């Protein structure tokens, strides 16, 4: 109930505090509110001692402001009552502080009051203010590094998206908290100064009222009004001191992870010998010096006993526990070995000059682009890649980055973050001034140019992109090219889990009843190797389930699955005009290639004379160029017998070639034969 209406109650409370400065109070209400002031300040102090992190009490800066305003309002209300009532003042709390705490002596009261204010203002508040200022500065400076660490953990798959969001929010809250604490310290300092000023005003005002209006002697006026004023000052300064101490405790515990009491006992008792030595020294001082013997021996004995207790309570070192024949297993370095052999599916290393591109606080979106590339690969190929780790490396050039697959480097490039890349798509003859290079994804001629050359480059016909876009395109193309290598056990488990959620019976019937998981994975790898999406897993699985009991030969299963996927394959090789622009092989050439066909492991290969194969590839390249000049997509069409072997051979020279069997084209497809490859003899 309280938490439900908490915001409403607090809002009414703050409004009531403001009204206290205007509305008159009776003695009962003043006593009640002053006791409440002391109580709330005590609760805040205890909370400050028991919290484990500073941001666990994130409302503290606002609470300091509200409580400061509350004390000032009570001070104004009490001052009004003291000056109006004089000897008939009804505030029992202030009277108790004036008579009991300082013994009814207003001179002693003034001295005690000033000591408390000076301690609060000079010692606690100044120290708290300095710690808050330094903490705020260092927290803000550390924010980019912390955010990069969170993004790196997220991209590495160490944490989930929700965990990353939560940790980013904590970093932001921590920075905001210390910034607010720096300002809240000013409230506490201002409160101390205002208390001194108010006491002087009240004393002077009380003397004037007592002597001139009440016709009291100066001694009686001082005894009455000054004592009440000092009592009021003490009542207000005790909770102020508690809040100041709480503020100091919170900002000085940045490195703590436990409650204050736990940290103090644990850390001071971490070396029992020191406690015992100090206890012995204090005891000896009590025996051999004029110091009070009972007090020194008592304190010394307590420290000796505490040291002995701490020593006996310390845990036995692990090396003493591990003994006997099982000790080897307890100290096994298997966890270290697992860290060494654990390789990410894909990872990226960047030079130090590229770190700002990955730092969100500096406007970098490199990590977001990595995430988008992963999503794009999942959408295009149906492959959900494990999170990609991005980390800096001192072994690289400042502007260089390296893309690794399964721990091995597959590509690298040098980016210039403050420049643009002007790419020549083989249609521009005019060179542009800049740093000449090759676009990393497709190997096109390119130049790094300045921002002011953008329009000129576009006018000449160059495609102009920024450095992060170059990186994203490069990463996308590398992942596409190595998609078959990226389908590991983890990725396969994700695919199977997704299938089980939709068609659990299909997965359970196929794996492991009909074939092993690795056989299915090897079939899917062949699809990915030829850049064919595996999003339509149900069709592939049904084809494998139907023919898996007849053969476990991966090339045969792949050929069968391709026929089942012919609708998708047909759509993927169509040109924009809706036609399939095919390059075929003559019957004579197909027969020659079929005679050289063999199986190596799980792949079909052609054992062709290199000179003959070179002629075939040259003719295919020339035909493909003619088709592409017409802005169409060339497709090599052949029989299913040699299709995979032909692709495996020519894809090493023409990596993005599409080789399709006649059986893999749908009956309603529009087919246009552009050329037929024939080798005489």
pLDDT digits (tens, 9 = 90+) for 493-520: 888 888 888 888 898 888 888 888 889 9
Q: What share of the chain is helix, strand, coil (3-state, %, to 5)?
A: 65, 10, 25
* Residue 78: alpha-carbon gap to chain centroid: 51
Determine contact, residues 560/651, Cβ cutoff 8 Å.
no
For the segment 114-134, the average pLDDT, to the nearest whole number, is 68
Residue with token string 């003034």: 110
Q: Which of 200-204, 215-219, 641-645 has the highest mean pLDDT?
A: 641-645
Element (H, E) at 584: strand 579-585
For the segment 24-34, the average pLDDT, to the nearest whole number, is 84
Give, as one character, the DSSP assignment of residue 120. I
Residue 229 and residue 226: Cα distance in Å, rounded?
A: 5
Tell me the two tokens of residue 57: 């009490």
CB-count burial class (<10 Å; 0-12, 13-18, 19+) for 624: buried
- The 3-class SS string of 164-199 reads HHHHHHHHHHHHHHHHHHHHHHHHHHHHHHHHHHHH
Sheet strands side by side (includes 634-638) = 659-661, 634-638, 579-585, 670-677
> Which tens digit of pLDDT belongs to each residue from 587-614?
999 989 998 988 887 788 888 888 888 8
pLDDT at 270: 64
> Which tens digit of pLDDT belongs to each residue from 456-491?
998 888 999 999 999 999 999 999 999 999 998 888
Tell me the two tokens of residue 659: 């080789």
- Least confident piece of the model among 258-267, 295-304, 659-668: 258-267
pLDDT at 327: 38
438 φ, ψ (degrees, to nearest 5): -125, 130
For the segment 172-193, the average pLDDT, to the nearest whole number, is 69
600 φ, ψ (degrees, to nearest 5): -120, 105
**Pairing assessment for the beta strands 634-638 and 579-585 based on DSSP bridges:** parallel
- Least confident piece of the model among 273-282, 631-640, 641-650: 273-282
pLDDT at 126: 66
- Least confident piece of the model among 193-207, 209-223, 321-335: 321-335
Average pLDDT of the residues of the chain: 80
Determine contact, residues 404/375, Cβ cutoff 8 Å.
no
Give, as one character, the DSSP assignment of residue 386. P
- Least confident piece of the model among 180-194, 226-240, 338-352, 444-458: 180-194
Give, as one character, the DSSP assignment of residue 482. T
Determine contact, residues 478/410, Cβ cutoff 8 Å.
yes
Determine contact, residues 442/477, Cβ cutoff 8 Å.
yes
> Which tens digit of pLDDT belongs to each residue from 341-398?
556 788 999 998 898 888 877 878 888 899 899 889 988 898 888 888 888 888 899 9
For the segment 206-212, the average pLDDT, to the nearest whole number, is 80
Work out the pLDDT band at 259, boundaries 50, 70, 90: low
Determine contact, residues 247/64, Cβ cutoff 8 Å.
yes
CB-count burial class (<10 Å; 0-12, 13-18, 19+) for 76: middle
Reply yes or no on whether the pLDDT at 441 is more than 70: yes
pLDDT at 72: 82
Helix (H, G, I), strand (E, B) or coil at 543: helix
Reply yes or no on whether the pLDDT at 330 is more than 60: no
CA distances from 356 to 131, 144, 162, 359, 361 (A): 29, 9, 24, 5, 8
Contact residues for 659 (Cβ-Cβ < 8 A; gap 6+): 530, 635, 636, 638, 643, 644, 646, 647, 650, 651
Determine contact, residues 458/464, Cβ cutoff 8 Å.
yes
Work out the pLDDT band at 329, boundaries 50, 70, 90: very low
**Pairwise pLDDT comparison (536 vs 8), residue with the higher score:** 536
């Amino acid at each position: 109930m309280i938490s439900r209406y908490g915001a409403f109650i607090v809002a009414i409370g703050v409004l009531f505090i403001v009204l206290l400065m205007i509305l008159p109070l009776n003695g009962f209400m003043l006593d009640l509110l002053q006791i409440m002031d002391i109580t709330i300040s005590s609760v805040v102090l205890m909370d400050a001692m028991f919290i484990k992190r500073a941001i666990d009490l994130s409302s503290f800066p606002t609470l300091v402001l509200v409580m400061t305003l509350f004390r000032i309002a009570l001070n104004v209300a009490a001052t009004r009552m003291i000056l109006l009532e004089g000897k008939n003042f009804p505030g029992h709390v202030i009277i108790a502080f004036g008579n009991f705490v300082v013994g009814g002596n207003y001179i002693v009261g003034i001295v005690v009051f000033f000591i408390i204010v000076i301690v609060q203002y000079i010692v606690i508040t100044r120290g708290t203010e300095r710690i808050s200022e330094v903490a705020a500065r260092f927290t803000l400076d550390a924010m980019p590094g912390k955010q990069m660490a969170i993004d790196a953990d997220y991209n590495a798959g160490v944490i989930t998206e929700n965990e990353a969001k939560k940790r980013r929010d904590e970093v932001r809250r921590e920075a905001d908290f210390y910034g607010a604490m720096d300002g809240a310290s000013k409230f506490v300092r201002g409160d101390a100064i205002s208390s001194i000023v108010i006491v002087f005003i009240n004393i002077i005002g009380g003397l004037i009222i007592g002597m001139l209006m009440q016709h009291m002697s100066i001694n009686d006026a001082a005894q009455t009004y000054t004592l009440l004023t000092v009592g009021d000052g003490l009542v207000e300064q005790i909770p102020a001191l508690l809040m100041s101490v709480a503020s100091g405790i919170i900002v000085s515990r940045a490195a703590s992870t436990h409650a204050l009491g736990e940290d103090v006992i644990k850390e001071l008792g971490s070396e029992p010998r020191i406690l015992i030595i100090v206890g012995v020294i204090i005891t000896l001082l009590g025996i051999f010096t004029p110091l009070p013997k009972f007090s020194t021996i008592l304190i010394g004995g307590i420290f000796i006993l505490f040291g002995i207790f701490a020593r006996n309570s310390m845990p036995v070192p692990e090396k003493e526990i591990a003994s006997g024949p099982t000790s080897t297993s307890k100290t096994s370095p298997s966890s270290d070995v697992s860290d060494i052999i654990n390789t990410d599916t894909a990872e990226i290393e960047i030079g130090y000059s590229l770190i700002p591109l990955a730092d969100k606080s500096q406007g970098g979106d490199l990590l977001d682009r990595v995430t988008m590339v992963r999503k794009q690969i999942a959408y295009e190929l149906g492959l959900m890649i494990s999170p990609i780790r991005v980390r800096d490396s001192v072994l690289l050039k400042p502007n260089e980055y390296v893309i690794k697959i399964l721990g091995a480097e597959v590509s690298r490039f040098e980016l210039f973050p403050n420049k643009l890349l002007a790419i020549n798509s083989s249609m521009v003859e005019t060179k542009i001034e800049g740093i000449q290079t090759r676009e990393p994804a497709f190997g096109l001629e390119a130049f790094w140019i300045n921002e002011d050359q953008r329009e000129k480059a576009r006018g000449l016909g160059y495609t102009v992109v920024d450095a992060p876009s170059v990186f994203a395109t490069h990463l996308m193309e590398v992942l596409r090219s190595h998609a078959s290598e990226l389908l590991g056990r983890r990725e396969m488990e994700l695919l199977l889990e997704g299938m089980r959620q939709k068609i659990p019976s299909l997965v359970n019937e196929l794996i492991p009843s009909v074939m092993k998981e690795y056989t299915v994975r090897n079939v899917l790898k062949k699809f990915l190797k030829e850049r064919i999406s595996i999003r339509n897993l149900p069709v592939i699985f049904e084809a494998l389930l139907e023919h898996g009991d007849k053969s476990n030969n991966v090339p045969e299963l792949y050929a069968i699955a391709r026929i089942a996927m012919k609708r998708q394959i047909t759509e993927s090789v169509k040109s924009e005009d809706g036609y399939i622009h095919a390059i075929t092989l003559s019957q004579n050439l197909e027969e020659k290639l079929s005679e050289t066909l063999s199986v190596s492991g799980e792949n079909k290969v052609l054992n062709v004379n290199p000179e003959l194969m070179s002629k075939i590839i040259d003719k295919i390249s020339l035909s493909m160029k003619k088709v592409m000049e017409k802005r169409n997509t060339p497709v090599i069409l052949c029989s299913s017998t040699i299709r995979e072997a032909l692709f495996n051979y020519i894809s090493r020279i023409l990596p993005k070639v599409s080789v399709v069997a006649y059986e893999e084209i749908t009956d309603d497809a529009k087919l246009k034969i552009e050329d037929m490859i024939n080798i005489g003899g």
